[in-house]
């Protein structure tokens, strides 16, 4: 009788363990067996190596604190600029732009220091729409970026042709500047503020201004 009870007990424990494992799998896997991508975390602007807790990124606040290194000339605090995911930023700017009234298509190129947005629009106020698109881009990128916009949709192909270039190469610079000159023929919106022109450039940005003359 004792042996029978022991055997029944072992079967019960095994069955419970199986149920627990199945329940855990259902929390992590879809029926197809593919891992669930919690909260679609691919849409992150920065590729950090730190561990990520499972949370609702669409509802939770985002908080990060950085402290300057106490070691003089330690440049590790500048590493986050190199980790900027430019393609994801371009994706966000294009999506936000097409969510605006009268903007039907938008292509965005993000370099190491500029954002170039070419869009198709049927707006009656070109300067107002340009200002909206530009300020949307400025709200996404670091503040040192300059933003150039154009509603000349024929320039989208030029923008796409630059996407494969290495941002640090002289060839990339030599092709970006002529494209910006073409884009400046379109309305750029209002000045960003009293110290910055319509593209976010200050009086100290004379080098770029001279190139665009």
Among positive and negative, which fits the CA dihedral 165, 45, 189, 119? positive
Percent of the chain with pLDDT over 70: 61
Stated pTM of the model: 0.67
Q: Is the pLDDT of residue 32 over 50?
A: no
| Spatial separation of the C-alpha atoms in residues 85 and 5, rounded to whole Å | 61
Fold of 85-211: GMP Synthetase; Chain A, domain 3 (3.30.300)
Q: Can you give the residue ranges of every domain in the chain?
A: 2-38, 85-211
Indicate the pLDDT class of residue 85, thresholds 50, 70 and 90: confident
Indicate the average pLDDT of the chain: 76
167-209 pLDDT, tens digit per residue, is: 767 778 888 999 999 999 999 999 999 999 999 999 887 666 6
Give the chain's end-to-end CA distance (angstroms, integer): 98
Token digits of residue 96:
């936000």
Indicate the pLDDT class of residue 34, thresholds 50, 70 and 90: very low
- Helix ranges (H only) for the chain are 2-28, 79-82, 86-98, 126-138, 156-161, 170-183, 206-211
| Spatial separation of the C-alpha atoms in residues 173 and 161, rounded to whole Å | 13
What is the arithmetic mean of pLDDT over 59-67? 71
């Amino acid at each position: 009788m004792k042996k029978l009870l022991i055997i029944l007990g072992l079967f019960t424990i095994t069955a419970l363990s199986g149920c627990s494992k199945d329940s855990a799998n259902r929390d992590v896997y879809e029926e197809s067996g593919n891992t669930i991508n919690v909260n679609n975390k691919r849409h992150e602007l920065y590729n950090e190596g730190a561990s990520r807790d499972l949370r609702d990124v669409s509802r939770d606040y985002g908080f990060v604190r950085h402290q300057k290194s106490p070691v003089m000339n330690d440049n590790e605090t500048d590493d986050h600029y190199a980790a900027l995911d430019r393609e994801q930023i371009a994706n966000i700017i294009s999506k936000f732009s097409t969510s605006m009234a009268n903007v039907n298509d938008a292509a965005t190129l993000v370099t190491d220091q500029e954002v170039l947005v070419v869009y198709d629009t049927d707006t009656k106020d070109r300067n107002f729409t340009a200002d909206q698109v530009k300020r949307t881009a400025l709200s996404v990128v670091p503040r040192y970026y300059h933003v150039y916009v154009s509603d000349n949709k024929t320039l989208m192909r030029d923008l796409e042709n630059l996407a494969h270039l290495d941002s640090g190469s002289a060839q990339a610079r030599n092709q970006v500047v002529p494209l910006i000159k073409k884009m400046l023929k379109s309305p750029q919106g209002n000045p960003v503020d009293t110290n910055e022109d319509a593209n976010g450039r200050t009086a100290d940005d004379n080098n770029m201004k001279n190139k665009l003359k």
